Amino acid sequence: MLAIIGGTGLTQMEGLDVVSRKAVSTQWGEPSAEILTGSVGGKQVLFLARHGDPHRIPPHKVNYRANIQALKDAGASAVVAVNAVGGIHPECQPAGLMIPDQIVDYTWGREHTFFADDLDEVVHIDFSWPYDEPLRQLLLAQAERLNLKVMSQGVYGATQGPRLESAGEIQRMMRDGCDIVGMTGMPEAALAREAGLPYACIALVVNMAAGLTDEIITMTEIESALHQGMGKVLDLLNAGIRVYEG
């Protein structure tokens, strides 16, 4: 069963026929919100609002371990995450979409692993390719079928937040090869890998990153891009859910 993690602008999933809402707890604490079970086109799906419903949990305070654990316990076999991001690459314009294939982690101080304490042996995971390729290709195939313009690869730079980045930090990220910047890509992706859950990201660009235009970044700008782009995200999610087998 596919699980969807909704980010900024997606605390509820339009088109999801909700069957149940369940408040759960895990050994890592409580997830951000209730786990919703529903269906899209006859396919069962799970949904979790990353920042809570209503949107109130900042990126550095999200209990990523509990979120991933709760979805796995609920029967998830794979996860598609929706992330609002800033555009660094010139082609990453507001309201545009990317399905990234790489990630660079600039976060710190977050509980980032299930394998930290009381271990029988040290556990290392391979993270060479952080996003599951078959799941990425499923999303890209559906984007093509829907005639949605989507960047098919790119590097997600994950920053600490909740503040936006400085222009100098964005310049460093450009030198590091990052194409988009967001605050929630890690440790979510790594925890999904540790949990054995294939994981892919739909990144919605909501602003150009700091210093790349002459304008300051405003919430009005971000909300406008969310409004323009979220319909495309929902179309892609609904299409992906309908063809997912797992």
**Contact (Cβ atoms closer than 8 angstroms) between residue 59 and residue 183:** yes
Using alpha carbons, select from 34, 35, 33, 31 the residue that is nearest to residue 46.
35
d(CA 110, CA 119): 19
Which parts are annotated binding residues for substrate?
183, 207-209
Task: Give the number of other Cβ atoms within 10 Å of residue 41's Cβ.
Answer: 12
User: Is the Cα torsion angle 236, 241, 245, 246 positive or negative in sign?
Assistant: positive
Write out the two tokens for 80: 């598609």
User: Is the Cα torsion angle 141, 102, 156, 107 positive or negative in sign?
Assistant: positive
Which residues, other chains included, contact 51 with Cβ-Cβ below 8 Å and sequence gap of 6+?
Answer: 7, 8, 11, 32, 57, 58, 59, 62
Which parts are annotated binding residues?
8, 50-51, 183-184, 207-209
Number of H-type helices and E-type strands within the chain = 5, 11
Task: Give the number of other Cβ atoms within 10 Å of residue 118's Cβ.
Answer: 5
d(CA 204, CA 54): 20
